Structure 1
Amino acid sequence: MRGHGFLLANYVPGTSLIHRMPLWLKFLLVLACGAASFLIVDWRLAAAALTVLCVLFLLSGAGAVRLYRAVKPLLPILLVIGAFQWWQLGAPVAARIVLNILLCVVAASLLTATTPLHRLLDGVVSLARPFRRFGADPERFALTIAIMLRSIPFIAGAFADVRDSARARGLERNPRALVLPVFITTVAYARHTGEALAARGLGEPED
């Protein structure tokens, strides 16, 4: 199956200021953008914040193509959300909601594009470590995120391959021709992943 990026940009090596920022500061930036998406009530402020993030993304050297690929899967959903909100609440509210969603996606993409995955997971472990006293397992949490980041592009690629195959056979409008092969492929992938983890003694609860 071919790999497909899904929402978040892949890591791009570089020496930009964003690359050299401490990981905690990048996490703080993402959290701030998430909070801003709830607090910003003016679409012009949302547009300004999104513009700043896009400029930072481009200055990091990740490139406009990766930025577009990060938001491309969301565009149909944003179009539907924007049209519905425009109909219900008007254009300014629709623009604010769509821009705030993009703000969160671009912020997360900036984090993943400028931070190696192993460093990102180490940061997740560090953040989750204080919750160990409540029974949390930081390493297991980081492993779950790593599997998720690896699985989503695979599933997206599986869907694209099945869709292309169905289109070639004139079955692109047949839900069964699309859903069933993707379901079987996904279950097989999950099973193989579980077997690989079990073979390495990963994912088992500690005594």
Structure 2
Amino acid sequence: MREPGLFSAHVVGDSWLHRAPFGAKLIGVIAVGLLPWWVHSAVPLAAVLAALLLIAVTAGVPLSRLLRSLRSLAPVLVVLGAFQWWAVGPAYAVRVVLGIATAFVAAGLLTATTPVTTMLDAVVRGARPASRWVDPEVVALTLAVVLRSVPWVAGAFAVVRESARARGLERDPRALVVPTVVQVVAYGRATGEALAARGLTDPAERA
């Protein structure tokens, strides 16, 4: 099943971005995500987006991967941009679309240059100070399930959409939503049963 570029496999490499600490990269992604609230023009956002694409080139991350992930986001950006254009105005709409696209590319660079195990280890370390209220291992397990589930769901929707298009039903919401929901529910049940079989959902069994 096809997976979207943002959450696809880690791109193996030894670039400066691959070697950069996960915490520093995460702070960078958060800063990029907050940028639309700090600036009131689309120009800085466009400059940051161009800089991120340049960073991808220097880090050996294929631009095709990032552009593919943006293409999968395009329908959402078009709808959101059109609504903001109508509700607020063209300048604000462009800023919103550029802000989302920039954050998406930044997150794509993070996942492309950081192994999942590194991210999970960082989550466990970060959650340890709160271990009295939350189990760090459960937090990491939850993140791992999310990282696996998001691309699976997106891939399921892509397959359903292609099937509907082949039957001339790509404009019928039922032909898209119903099969996707059925597959997602089945996947969720299978994932839950697999975790339960390994005793990963019961703290008493993991202790």
Q: TM above 0.5, one fold? A: yes
1:7 positional shift: 4.0
Amino acid at match of 1:152: V
Tell me what 1:58 maps to: 57
Asked whether the equivalents of residues 7 and 72 of structure 1 are also in contact (C-alpha less than 8 Å), the reply is no
Instruction: Report whether the alignment pairs 1:12 with 2:33.
Output: no
Instruction: Report whether the alignment pairs 1:181 with 2:185.
Output: no
Tell me what 2:146 maps to: 148
Work out the CA distance in 2 between the residues paired with 1:103 and 1:163: 26
Work out the CA distance in 1 between the residues paired with 2:87 and 2:188: 41
Q: For the structure 1 residues 167 and 35, does the alpha-carbon distance in structure 2 shift closer, same or farther, using more than 3 Å as the test?
A: closer
Q: For the structure 1 residues 14 and 6, does the alpha-carbon distance in structure 2 shift closer, same or farther, using more than 3 Å as the test?
A: closer
Work out the CA distance in 2 between the residues paired with 1:64 and 1:6: 10
Q: For the structure 1 residues 49 and 170, does the alpha-carbon distance in structure 2 shift closer, same or farther, using more than 3 Å as the test?
A: closer
Once the two structures are superposed, residues 94-135 of structure 1 have per-residue CA deviations (whole angstroms, 9 ceiling, x without a partner) of 2222111112111111110000011111111112222223x1
1:140 positional shift: 1.0
Work out the CA distance in 2 between the residues paired with 1:89 and 1:174: 30
Tell me what 2:41 maps to: 42
Stretch deviating more after TM superposition (151-160 or 171-180): 171-180
1:139 positional shift: 1.3
Work out the CA distance in 2 between the residues paired with 1:8 and 1:151: 10
Paired residues, number = 205
1:25 positional shift: 0.8
Tell me what 1:76 maps to: 75
Q: For the structure 1 residues 110 and 79, does the alpha-carbon distance in structure 2 shift closer, same or farther, using more than 3 Å as the test?
A: same
Unpaired runs of 5+ residues, structure 1, are none
Work out the CA distance in 2 between the residues paired with 1:169 and 1:87: 34
Unpaired runs of 5+ residues, structure 2, are none
Stretch deviating more after TM superposition (156-165 or 16-25): 156-165
**If the length of structure 2 is used for normalisation, what is the TM-score?**
0.89
Q: For the structure 1 residues 9 and 70, does the alpha-carbon distance in structure 2 shift closer, same or farther, using more than 3 Å as the test?
A: farther
Q: For the structure 1 residues 170 and 104, does the alpha-carbon distance in structure 2 shift closer, same or farther, using more than 3 Å as the test?
A: closer
1:190 positional shift: 1.1
1:6 positional shift: 5.7
Work out the CA distance in 2 between the residues paired with 1:43 and 1:9: 29
Identity %: 49
Q: For the structure 1 residues 79 and 169, does the alpha-carbon distance in structure 2 shift closer, same or farther, using more than 3 Å as the test?
A: closer
Tell me what 2:190 maps to: 192
1:191 positional shift: 1.3
Work out the CA distance in 1 between the residues paired with 2:182 and 2:169: 18
